[in-house]
Structure 1
């Protein structure tokens, strides 16, 4: 049944997209429906297991939680579970590619939808940039292990290259870029333009590889655990000098909570499953399944890895180069140098699937926003042969590759976390409001104990946002303000809601 909106609603910043328009979008879908529940689950796992487990565990253990790193993963995981349940209810109701943006548009209104869609750029595009730089670091380490070295001015952005030259007593280079990061982004872009089936196939292969590597770390590493490294499990709260040279509170329960914010990047990506609704065979059932299963599976692996890592090496020793590759460093320290090759190779390959899912999710959010008129039609131009949003994919690839190649991305990890936590909080609010306002609407999947889970999800994700650094919060808010300028300058007057029938 068609639901019309009044003139007053049409002019409101909180005008909502009627359900029948979502149904029309589903019927007019031009993307190929080739993803089953296990392919969707693999996409979730492929996005989640990556830089977080191979990189941020060291930082979180040394600067935040100590041996209690596992508790940080539990707190972050609980916040994700609450959000995942809310995502699952929405995905079963609105199986469209816009993820949290689309859910907000149908429930809390256009302005919120725009802000959350623009905020998702912080999660997906900037997340892809961060991962591209992390991949470059592992790739450089891998080729070094194989006996080759890439010139420093071809593996660092201009700013980092100048710092490296100064510290090494070398002449500053006239030109520098992170070439490995640039090239890998274009490899991923090519796969994404070629088609979702090819992208899913590549992702499945990489997921098997890196899950095997994580299981290897757990099974082999447990034989080198020294129980005294876990004592005290929760170190006494103190003030230490952070990575940026400023003092910060660490350890104790405060450190555990701030550690949850620091490693939250490790969980980013499971919500990208919801952006694949238009390419899923049975989205109403399979997307909730994939979101929940991928999150639970990855959380269990993260807990086990964090326990093994802090048992193999004392958290106070994770400094310098060990911060960049703590898992590999731990095996090197216990004399298992051969394991470093396996871990480095798996991390290098595994990060590719994270980039793939991040960029895949970004183009699908842009696709949904463009279909609603909030972005130009350029973003929903579908390739006649590959059936992918190829123009949008090429643009995202260009921006991600250039930023990753030319910019030091120190705070992008936290900005990515901001975008994700912000989206999670809005989804928890939206699903709660919709259950109150439209309890009769069909819900193939329902969040259990909604009056407990949704508020707790909102509170916990907001607390984690508050724990992020002041600079990352300031930059993220600046990004959201830029988005509002674009909305009022273009999106609001071009919204398709301006053209639908009125009911006065």
Structure 2
């Protein structure tokens, strides 16, 4: 590839990838948590259960704790973890002479079994992140229709399962917690609509992508600038209502909003000076995005009480709606529209990219004969992996109509963090196994940064609820069963026993 990218280009690429939809959607469940009526091990973060065990108590808490206004600290922690992992990612990507996902170059460096685990994990990560984003899209679409003056029945605009129930802006109950008769139709339809687009083929020009990025950044800056005038300092007390457990849980949930930073590391092959430019690009991306995200967190928690955004799939827009009802809030009416448009644009581009990525992972695994051949078939007219794209679309669309944003975010983040742990371990293993192999970029300070990356990723994973870990391990066990009883025997490297 041509060596054309410098630190400025890399930073612009990274900001465009990181400034996505998560900051408009997942920030609510990160701030407010996922509270429950009774203390139970299933909804309690692993770190609380471990601390409780050390003190000879159950350690169970009433649901996943929210970070509250201290989410600003969570965002700093996440940026540090991403910086460590991003450097590891860059080294592994630079060792392979082709561009590709973590699955592609893990297959070439660490072997088939680890590649299968990462590929199976990426399917989980892409699917659940898009489920949460599509739920957020639906919430923002409802807000846009409400702004226009077209209110619709909440039965077909909210998930069928609501762990916290559903309230209106005045706090009155619309639905009690639990299952109800309904389905999130907008979340379902947006995934299917974009699946049709992907099957037919789409090429995003750099100019179109840049416009989308500018719209998203403008929406964030508008919210921060106009929201500053409506901050109530009393909302910052208590600053960290759930202590470090809440800060850690908040970081664990907000983590997937940052994962676009890996676009910087995977572009190391096209850098003029990768040893210098890749670290600059990663750190500059994380610095700019962290400042923007902290700005949103500080303004949001200052405008409305932190508990009011728990379980809200459109916390930024709904905060503007609440404040618009107060004296002097009328000036936010048009700001609300601008933020809505920015958020919707961000979510559409995010769902599109991640659905494309998920189908391509299935395609690559099928091409390596680890999944059935039908997943790597290319449509004769559109030249896209149509079957893989449709399966990915249906498997994301249906759950998006059923469940809430918090559950999806938890599963997406544990998958992402686990993949990053394997990437960081991969750097250490390959340093020992193939020390003389060419590396376009090398992580500085020997094994220190990869080890710190592993430890910090595990720390963030410990902030997720125990039930999320259980579901994740069940998913991995299913994946290993599929591999050993099906995929391994189909692999081109399989040698049957005589």
TM-score, normalising length from structure 2? 0.78
CA distance in 2, matches of 1:73, 1:109: 34
Task: Specify the alignment match of 2:289 in structure 1.
Answer: 298
Task: Specify the alignment match of 2:24 in structure 1.
Answer: 54
Cα–Cα, structure 1 residues 326 and 155, in superposed 2: closer, same or farther, change >3 Å? closer
1:263 aligns with 2:254: yes
More helix by share: 1
Q: Is the 8 A contact 1:73 1:260 kept in 2?
A: yes
Residue in structure 1 matching 2:430, options 431, 434, 437: 434
Cα–Cα, structure 1 residues 485 and 287, in superposed 2: closer, same or farther, change >3 Å? farther
Offset from partner CA, 1:98-133 (integer Å, 9 cap, x none):
522233323333222211210111210121122111
Task: Specify the alignment match of 2:41 in structure 1.
Answer: none
CA distance in 2, matches of 1:60, 1:175: 27
Cα–Cα, structure 1 residues 290 and 94, in superposed 2: closer, same or farther, change >3 Å? farther
Offset from partner CA, 1:202-248 (integer Å, 9 cap, x none):
5443222111101212233334445554456445xxxxxxxxxxxxx
Task: Specify the alignment match of 1:13 in structure 2.
Answer: none
Residue in structure 2 matching 1:254, options 242, 245, 268: 245
Where does 1:425-464 land on structure 2 (aligned, <5 Å)?
425-464=421-460
CA distance in 2, matches of 1:381, 1:272: 27
CA distance in 2, matches of 1:254, 1:160: 24
Secondary structure of 1:455's partner? helix
Where does 1:229-378 land on structure 2 (aligned, <5 Å)?
229-230=235-236, 233-235=239-241, 250=242, 252-271=243-262, 294-315=285-306, 318-319=308-309, 323-331=312-320, 332-333=322-323, 335=329, 336-338=331-333, 339-378=335-374
Q: Is the 8 A contact 2:118 2:419 kept in 1?
A: yes
1:178 aligns with 2:174: no
Which 10-residue stretch deviates more, 471-480 or 381-390? 381-390
Which 10-residue stretch deviates more, 287-296 or 115-124? 287-296
CA distance in 1, matches of 2:306, 2:181: 38
Q: Is the 8 A contact 1:130 1:409 kept in 2?
A: yes
CA distance in 2, matches of 1:198, 1:44: 17
Secondary structure of 2:449's partner? helix
Task: Specify the alignment match of 1:151 in structure 2.
Answer: 153
Which 10-residue stretch deviates more, 105-114 or 39-48? 39-48
Residue in structure 2 matching 1:193, options 187, 196, 199: 199
CA distance in 1, matches of 2:11, 2:126: 18
Task: Specify the alignment match of 1:482 in structure 2.
Answer: 478
Shift, 1:51, TM fit: 4.0
Offset from partner CA, 1:356-401 (integer Å, 9 cap, x none):
1211221222222222221123223334565433332222122222
Q: Is the 8 A contact 2:89 2:265 kept in 1?
A: yes
Task: Specify the alignment match of 1:9 in structure 2.
Answer: none
CA distance in 2, matches of 1:306, 1:174: 31
Which 10-residue stretch deviates more, 418-427 or 358-367? 358-367
Task: Specify the alignment match of 1:495 in structure 2.
Answer: 491
Q: Is the 8 A contact 2:161 2:180 kept in 1?
A: no
CA distance in 2, matches of 1:177, 1:290: 42
1:91 aligns with 2:65: no
CA distance in 2, matches of 1:365, 1:195: 16
Q: Is the 8 A contact 1:181 1:405 kept in 2?
A: yes
Cα–Cα, structure 1 residues 442 and 384, in superposed 2: closer, same or farther, change >3 Å? farther
Task: Specify the alignment match of 1:21 in structure 2.
Answer: none
Please report the RMSD computed on the Cα atoms of aligned residues, expressed in angstroms. Answer: 3.7
Where does 1:403-422 land on structure 2 (aligned, <5 Å)?
403-407=399-403, 410-422=406-418
CA distance in 2, matches of 1:393, 1:416: 19
Offset from partner CA, 1:458-504 (integer Å, 9 cap, x none):
0000111121111111111111111111111221011122379xxxx
Secondary structure of 1:497's partner? coil
1:217 aligns with 2:223: yes
Cα–Cα, structure 1 residues 66 and 130, in superposed 2: closer, same or farther, change >3 Å? closer
Cα–Cα, structure 1 residues 377 and 180, in superposed 2: closer, same or farther, change >3 Å? same
Residue in structure 1 matching 2:212, options 206, 216, 239: 206
Q: Is the 8 A contact 1:269 1:357 kept in 2?
A: no
Which 10-residue stretch deviates more, 465-474 or 453-462? 465-474
Task: Specify the alignment match of 1:30 in structure 2.
Answer: none
CA distance in 1, matches of 2:442, 2:431: 10
Secondary structure of 2:203's partner? helix
Matched residues, number: 446
Task: Please list every run of 5 or more consecutive structure 1 residues that lacks an aligned counterpart in the other structure.
Answer: 1-25, 27-32, 236-249
Which 10-residue stretch deviates more, 60-69 or 362-371? 60-69
CA distance in 1, matches of 2:309, 2:289: 26
TM-score, normalising length from structure 1? 0.77
